Amino acid sequence: METILVLAHTENDGSLAKSAREALHAAATLHKSLADSKLLVGLIGENIQAAANSIAASPVTKYFGVTGAEFCQSRYATDAAAAEAVFKAAQATVVVAPATSRWARVLPGVAQRLGGRADTHVTGVAVADGKISVSRWYYRQRMEGVLTRTPRPWILGIDPGSQTACDCGAGTATVEMVPVNLTDANKRTTVVGIREPKADAQTIRPDAQLLFVTGAGWTKKQADGQTHLPEAEKLILGFLKASRASLGSSKSLVDLGGEGQAVLPFLSHLNQVGQTGATPRHAKGLSTCCHGEEPHTVGWRFIGERRAISLDPNCGWARGKADVLYVADAFAVIAKVNELLAAGGTP
Amino acid sequence: MSTAYQIVVCGSIVPDPLQTLEPVASPTGPALKNEMMLPAVLDPWAGHALYEAANLAKNQPGSKVWLVSLGPKAKLQQVMMTVAQKVPFELVALDGSASGFTDATETAAALADAIAAIPGLDKSKLLVFGGWESASRGAGATLQIVGERLGIVDQFQGVDQLTVNADGSLEILERIEGGKHQVSKCAGAPALLGWATGNLPEPKNNPQVGMVNMRTVMPALQKAKPTKLAGEGLSFASVALPKQLRETQIVKDKSPDGIAKEIVEWIKK
Ligand SMILES: Cc1cc2nc3c(=O)[nH]c(=O)nc-3n(C[C@H](O)[C@H](O)[C@H](O)COP(=O)(O)OP(=O)(O)OC[C@H]3O[C@@H](n4cnc5c(N)ncnc54)[C@H](O)[C@@H]3O)c2cc1C
């Protein structure tokens, strides 16, 4: 008999993120398919009652909480102590948690502490013959594996965006508070702030419909034998402004900055998509001036519809990696796209 | 006051990302087709960790860098021929599988034991580094488990920057959601940092560094401890390549205006 614990942290405003509701959905799916299983929730944060109430109409039978100012911080030592305490109070065998940056930092360590196992970047859960199996990707999204484990506890970190969010309604939840004894050793680290670009300079927009990818071609000599960096910058920023797309980039383009060449100043490694970059989730992706090599396109695994604009008809996109490849000059096309978007999208 | 750190970097080898990879079934579970023939490279994010470690050691006199690697000995040797020319380090090698299908818990146990056995290890000076995720298992789990086994509870993942303050405290930037960094201050070593890309370019090959490193690399490989990863309690139902290869429509003779119109319609759909 499995006791399934959904482990979530609250956001700074005390709410539950969508990723937490996705984990709850995955856990509820397991619960439904496993006869005699129990579904519990553990919440960690400065205050958690509002979050518990917001999902009170779910099939969860018991709520556990760890609260206090120390648990507001996304910090390994206190998060691990809190997760361990909730787990022990709940006597869980399976823990389902959203793989946010905060939980990804701590979950495998918690599994070690509890003598169990953790699987991260889980994109699917299922039950067959009374056994839980999970799907996750290997070799940077190149192949998908389905696996099962016998050791317990088994902690599953669910990739945000991979599940539908549970839309269970609100109510009033009774939460059993779990005490956690913190020592000075848990407080050697302090979170002092968040560093982010100014609102208008933030080009990474996880919730955008469209991912707009720029490649090194934007900085290369064009048909006239010249580079056109100021124009490239204007076109790219113009497109981002009009479309509200999220900006991704090839490695070659972001690396140029480190090599001392003139580059596009709004790009950093955080924009990089691929093998050593991000694997964002968006409904659509538009690639420009990028060759579509395998180490880049593995980062497109979770992009729905894909289109590319490249001068090279034999680039990687042509080989089954994009739905449509426009063999064209991206400078000319994006200039026109920006014009159309500015005019309200109708030519 | 400058602190002399003992910086231990955990990092192994992965297939060159430009290679096509195909899963196959083997008697011990899933594997890659022609796995031993595939050219290998240092796992990229672990590579960034190694370069950051070397840079830190250079700026903190008296510091030393170890690279602890669990992989098939022959392949490790090939990759070390290049890696050893990049930055100074001492290799601690474990001879075993570097497959993505091994269990992070078992890999971490072997790495933690190897770290604990480093002669003269002083935990008050210890910084454990590695990549925040491997390019094989891609779990982002091994380092946390290594840290737990070594009793290190100041852990950071997705690190892009480490600054040692004048008072010996550490300022650390970690990647979080939405293209942002969380800034933390840690009292000092011991700490564990899983690196993302960081800020340093890949160092150029330096044959002199290579010569010095090779004096310890070869003996380390010779005495690499055979390490068995049994995958206890773990079984794979399937490992498969994604099904969808798209039927790319190649549009060659359309005007920029025509393409722009089509793209705008598609974006708005
Ligand atoms: C260990 C390792 C890890 C890597 N990780 C990543 C990763 O995470 N992400 C990543 O992206 N890459 C990664 N790479 C690099 C990858 O292999 C490619 O080198 C890189 O993606 C190429 O970038 P690009 O397509 O922007 O540049 P290029 O290969 O230079 O291609 C530029 C393209 O722009 C086109 N072009 C030029 N001008 C125009 C124009 N006016 N209009 C339209 N098209 C134009 C050209 O035809 C060309 O196809 C990795 C490589 C290694 C070895």
Mean pLDDT on A101-105: 98
Query: What is the topology classification, in CATH, of domain A3-187?
Result: Rossmann fold (3.40.50)
Domain span at B51: 6-226
Per DSSP bridges, beta strands B6-10 and B126-131 are parallel
For residue B238, is it within any domain?
no
The one-letter code for the residue type at B73 is K
CATH architecture of A199-344: 3-Layer(aba) Sandwich (3.40)
Mean pLDDT of all residues in A289-309: 97
C-alpha to C-alpha distance for A295 and A280, rounded to whole angstroms? 15
The residue ranges of every structural domain in chain A are 3-187, 199-344
Nearest to B239 among A113, A145, A294 (CB): A145
Mean pLDDT over A25-31 rounds to 98
What is the total count of domains within chain B? 1
pLDDT above 70 as % of chain A: 98
Q: What is the mean pLDDT of each run of 10 residues along chain B (269 residues)?
A: 92 95 95 96 98 98 98 97 97 98 98 98 98 98 98 98 97 97 98 96 96 96 97 97 88 97 97
- Rama region for B114: left / alpha / beta (φ>0; ψ in -120 to 50; rest): alpha
Q: B interface mutation test: which of A326, A329, A331 has the most B CBs within 10 A? A: A326
B156 vs A: CB within 8 A: yes
Please give the pLDDT value at position A346.
Answer: 44
Residue A347 has pLDDT above 60, yes or no: no
Do the Cβ atoms of A269 and B235 come within 8 Å?
no
pLDDT at A201: 86
Burial A178-216 (b: 16+ CB within 10 A, else e): bebeeeeebebbeeeeeebeeeeeebbbeebbbbbbbbb
Residue A198: the pLDDT is 87
Domains A3-187 and A199-344 share a fold: yes
The pLDDT of residue A262 is above 60: no
Indicate whether A54 pLDDT > 90: yes
Across residues A7-36, what is the average pLDDT?
Answer: 97
Split at pLDDT 50, 70, 90, the class of A51 is: very high
Q: Summarize the confidence of residues A293-310 as an average pLDDT.
A: 97
DSSP letter for A278, please.
Answer: B
- Interchain proximity B17–A109, CB inside 8 Å: no
Q: Which helix (H) or strand (E) holds A259?
A: none
Residue of A nearest to B139 (CA): A120
Residue in B180, B246, B263 nearest the CB of A194:
B180
Least confident of A238-247, A256-265, B150-159, B257-266: A256-265
Amino acid A256: pLDDT: 87
* A155 pLDDT higher than 70: yes
Q: Is the pLDDT of residue A197 over 90?
A: no
pLDDT tier for residue A66 given thresholds of 50, 70 and 90: very high
User: What's the CATH code of the domain at B47?
Assistant: 3.40.50.620
